[in-house]
Amino acid sequence: MEHLKKAAIAFFILAAALMLFLFLNSADFSFTGNFVSASEDANNSYSYTKAICDANNYCEDYEIACKNGELLKFIPTGYAAQFPSDWKDPRNPEDINRTC
C-alpha cells in the first residue's frame, strides 16, 4: 500500500511539472506583461487609467481607450477618493490634461 501512495505522489508531481513546463513555454505566456499584439500596436491602439478630480477634490478613476488619436471608450473603473480641501494634485498639468 505504501508503494501505491509513493507512486501516486510521484505521478502528481510529474504531471504538475509537465503542466507548468507546457504553460511557461506556450506562445501566449510572457513575464514582461507585454499584452499588446503587433497588429494592435501598428494601429496605434492603447488604453490607460486616469483620475479625474472636481473642484471639491473628489477624484474618480476612468479607463480610457484610444485608437489613432481618437477616444474609443471612457469608462469609470469604480474607484474614487475624496481628498481634504487643502489637497493639491501632485500630477503635472500635462498628465492631468492628457487625452488621446
Q: Give the pLDDT of residue 2.
A: 78
Q: Give the pLDDT of residue 9.
A: 73
Quote the CA–CA distance of 61 and 52 in Å, as a whole number. Answer: 6
- The count of structural domains within the chain is 2
Quote the CA–CA distance of 89 and 95 in Å, as a whole number. Answer: 11
Query: Does the residue 36 lie in any domain?
Result: no
Query: Does the residue 62 lie in any domain?
Result: yes
Same structural domain for residues 56 and 100? yes
Identify whether the C-beta of residue 47 lies closer than 8 Å to the C-beta of residue 65. yes
Same structural domain for residues 3 and 50? no
**SS3 assignment, position 23:** helix
Q: Give the pLDDT of residue 65.
A: 94
Kindly give the parts of the chain with pLDDT less than 70.
4, 6-8, 10-43
Q: Give the pLDDT of residue 92.
A: 93
For 32, list phi and psi in degrees, rounded to 5.
-85, -15
Query: Does the residue 65 lie in any domain?
Result: yes
Query: Does the residue 34 lie in any domain?
Result: no
Domain coverage including residue 4: 1-29
Same structural domain for residues 81 and 55? yes
